[in-house]
Amino acid sequence: MIQANSVLLTLREVEKELSSTARCKKLVRSFYGEEHIPLAFVHSFGCQQNVNDGEKILGMLTSFGYGVTFEMEKADVVIYNTCAIRENAEKKVYGLVGELSHLKKKNPSVLIGLCGCMVQQSHVAEKLKFSYPQVDFVFGTHALTSFPTLFSGVLESALSGKRKRMFEIFDSDGRIAEYAPVYRLDRAKANLPIMYGCNNFCTYCVVPLVRGRERSRRSEDVLTEAKTLAAQGYREITLLGQNVNAYGKDLKDDLSFPELLLALNEIEGDFRIRFMTSHPRDCTKELIDAIAKCDKVCNHIHLPVQSGNDRILKEMNRHYDRKTYLSLIRYAKERIKNVTFTSDIIVGFPGETEEEFLDTLSLIEEVRYLALFTFIFSPREGTKAALMDDPVSYEEKNRRFQQLLSVQKKIEEQLHREMVGKTVRVLVDGFNRDHTRLYGHSEENLTVDFPGDEKQIGNFVSVRIDSMENRALLGHIID
């Protein structure tokens, strides 16, 4: 569906990609033969948004005639969908790509591609070009919607026997394509991206540099996709966006994020709605009221605070202070029954003093988060914070990090203990590691283990929580 919105692909651009898709189908048959169904392996690192991009790539590859494999050694095309958020994420990818040279030697016809946030950075693309010859094609986040055209070029060069490596890293922001097929990796939970990019420019964060400015999908398209997912029997829909609660700010005459939640809540079906990641700056009382009103929207909010200290928050360019953040939390606790919170915290931001760190500890004790995603500051090329003086040693940062973990562990244990004896509605995810019990997530985002059988996977069950063992909640299904 086409609208007068430069963010959407035009009809002509969609037609081009559809005709490239048809071309890829023919090329796949010529390259692999009619008898052989080639297999694609796509592995995504990083956030849910990236996982969803990976699902789109798999969707496109299956429309070209590939099957899907989760075993890299069996694949005819291998794609790593990379993340740039911290240095560790990048190091891991360089290591894995290095190992791919063995795969290429063993099977020279395997096609190796890299995409995602890490390769959107020009210094990374250059390094891959010169130091990793095993890589056949590279495309950045903004080139995802023209993947069929890029891939038809990759197949043509492979067929011709004259290997031509392809690099497509666009500077302009990626466009929104409503035509792209999605291969969903989970049969009960679906990701639904509602906006892309970020306008916040937190000083530590590479996301605005690799994902571009905020672009929202039209509510009409979001609602249509959500209705299809509900009709297909998905039990959980997670609305995605790097800054999800800024949804709609760039749209004219369309819904705001709270209005979108209210509209989604009206869709028929037994499913629940989550969303991530929210920025406290765009978290309004109106949004909290909407969450409280919508029975399908889970009573769990992931609201990254990053730090509990006002000077650090300012240096991070977060646009809120401790007091405002805590007043939002208080309001949500008053309005939303049994609400839980999770958060992201960065320890060791450049120049963070011991006292400033202690402010973060006192904040987490006040909020009582169900879980925290904790990170030691990692300087990212092109960000402001990477240029700031950073006198605190890594050892000291690590000490603070460990202290944070141990404070959080106690909070989690207390919160879990308070849940014993209560009954929660759980969406069953699967079997636990030793395959002895099922596990799933409650609306509050608690993980619970309980006995049960395979038939229950992908369905809702009521679970009474009986005990807590090694931080895990154990329970049993009740009618």
Q: Using CB under 6 A as the criterion, which residues of the chain lie in contact with ligand SF4 when the complex forms?
A: 46-47, 49-50, 83-85, 117, 206-207, 210-211, 242
Is 132 a binding residue for ligand 5AD by CB under 6 A? The answer is no
Q: Which of 120, 306, 307, 442 binds ligand 5AD (CB under 6 A)?
A: 306
Q: Is 344 in the site for ligand 5AD (CB under 6 A)?
A: yes
**Of residues 176, 264, 332, 346, which one binds ligand 5AD by CB under 6 A?**
346
Task: List the beta bridge partners of residue 474.
Answer: 449, 467
The interface partner of residue 346, options being ligand SF4, ligand 5AD, none and the CB cut-off 5 to 8 Å by kind, is ligand 5AD
Task: Specify the residue, 220 or 381, whose C-beta has the smaller distance to ligand 5AD.
Answer: 381
Q: Is 85 in the site for ligand 5AD (CB under 6 A)?
A: yes
Angle value at C-alpha 307, between 304 and 308, nearest 5 degrees: 110
Phi, psi values for residue 388, rounded to 5°: -80, 150
- Judged by CB under 6 A, the stretch of 106-114, 225-233, 373-381, 413-421 that binds ligand 5AD is 373-381
CA distance 155 to 24: 7
Query: Is beta strand 371-376 parallel, antiparallel or unpaired with respect to 340-347?
Result: parallel
Q: Name residue, tokens 């939970």.
A: 189
Nearer CB in complex with ligand 5AD: 267/388:
388
Q: How far apart are CA 434 and CA 432, in angstroms?
A: 6
HEC readout, 185-217: CCCCEEEEECEECCCCCCCCCCHHHHHCCCEEC
- Shortest Å distance, C-beta 202 to ligand 5AD: 7
CB closer to ligand SF4, 21 vs 50: 50
Query: Minimum distance from CB of 205 to ligand SF4 (Å)?
Result: 8
User: Of these partners, ligand SF4, ligand 5AD, none, which one is at the site of residue 40 (CB under 5 to 8 Å by kind)?
Assistant: none
State the nearest-atom distance from the C-beta of 195 to ligand 5AD, in Å: 16
Beta carbon of residue 86, minimum distance to ligand 5AD (angstroms, whole number):
5
- 38, 212, 248, 304: residue in contact with ligand 5AD (rule CB under 6 A): 304
Task: Please list, residue by residue across 65-84, b when 16 or more beta carbons sit within 10 angstroms of its beta carbon and e when fewer do.
Answer: bbeebeebeebbbbbbbbbb
- Comparison of 38 and 280: residue with beta carbon closer to ligand SF4: 280
Shortest reach from residue 189's CB to ligand SF4, in Å: 18
Q: Does 204 bind ligand 5AD (CB under 6 A)?
A: yes
Q: Establish if 211 lies at the interface with ligand 5AD (CB under 6 A).
A: no
Q: From the CB of residue 414, how many other CB atoms can be counted at a distance below 10 Å?
A: 10
- In the complex with ligand SF4, the residue whose CB is nearer, 141 or 299, is 141
Pick between residue 206 and residue 301 the one whose CB is nearest to ligand SF4. Answer: 206
The answer to whether residues 142 and 167 touch, using CB atoms and an 8 Å cutoff, is: no
Q: Which residue has the tokens 């120049």?
A: 351
The answer to whether 317 contacts ligand 5AD (rule: CB under 6 A) is: no
For ligand 5AD, which is the closer residue by CB, 220 or 310? 310
Shortest approach of ligand 5AD to residue 242 CB, angstroms? Answer: 9
Span from 92-100, 108-116, 169-177, 372-380 in contact with ligand 5AD (CB under 6 A): 372-380
Q: Which of 380, 400, 416, 441 binds ligand 5AD (CB under 6 A)?
A: 380
Task: Return the one option of ligand SF4, ligand 5AD, none that residue 69 interacts with (CB less than 5 to 8 A, by type).
Answer: none
Which residue has tokens 């997530």? 441
Q: Is position 250 an interface residue for ligand 5AD (rule: CB under 6 A)?
A: no
Q: Which residues bind ligand 5AD (CB under 6 A)?
A: 85-86, 204-205, 304, 306, 344, 346, 375, 377-378, 380
